[in-house]
A = this chain, B = another copy of it.
Amino acid sequence: MARERKFSTVDLYQSTKHLLLEHGYDGFTFSMLANRLDISRGALYKYFENKEVLISEYMVFEMKKFMVQLHKIQEYKSFEEKFDYLIHLIFHDQEIHRLREIGLEIPRSPNTKVHENQEQLDQLHYEMYTSLQSFVELGKQEGIIKPSIPNGLFLGFIFQTIAIPNHENLPYSEWVSSIKEILRHGMFKI
């Protein structure tokens, strides 16, 4: 019926991700993306009215992908297993944390599509939140986590932890197991 597209949706999302992580929300431009995909800037406007639409749409895609992974946490029954899986997951999907922050930079827009995507993101975020909340609750029920720790703080520690820059370039496994150890039992002796 019509001419073949010069780029796939996968290409587009990959490039978007790459450019977002490299230049941040403000630094991202349609020119860059067009350039990377080897098409003209004008062509992009055939698919996305503007940056907000494109990025919010991409964010929904990325968050859905992450939630598929996160829901697998239900396959593990004990808190200990879930804990290991969660740490493993966020270390292997490091960017998601930064990307979620970038997603929050999209200005609340009156544009219908953007608004829909933002509502969907809110929904996904809420799902993530409840999923993680019940994970923490389980830890308390099983008597593994200290009950005095607020749930938000528990989760905050886990998510902030992965953003600690490994300046000394310690080997991955050593780094992760040190972090787990600190999360479990702290940095002080006894």
Mark A residues whose CB is within 8 Å of B: 24, 26-27, 143-146, 148-154, 156-157, 160-161, 163-168, 170, 175, 178-179, 181-189
Contact = CB atoms under 8 A, between A and B. Distances in A.
A160 B164 contact: yes
Contacts of A182: 149, 153, 157, 186
B178 A150 contact: yes
Given A150-B168, A164-B156, A178-B148, A186 B189 contact: no
Contacts of A161: 157, 160
18 contacts: A146-B181, A146-B187, A146-B188, A146-B189, A148-B178, A149-B181, A150-B175, A151-B168, A152-B165, A152-B168, A153-B170, A153-B178, A156-B164, A156-B165, A160-B163, A183-B186, A184-B186, A184-B187
Contacts of A164: 153, 156-157, 160
B145 A166 contact: no
Given A160-B160, A160-B164, A188 B26 contact: no
Nearest to A154: B187
Nearest to A170: B150
A188 B145 contact: yes
Contact of A187 (B24, B26, B27, B145): B145
A94 to B, nearest CB: 14
A43 B35 CA distance: 38
A172 to B, nearest CB: 13
The 3 closest A-B pairs by CB, nearest first: A156-B164, A186-B186, A185-B186
A31 to B, nearest CB: 16
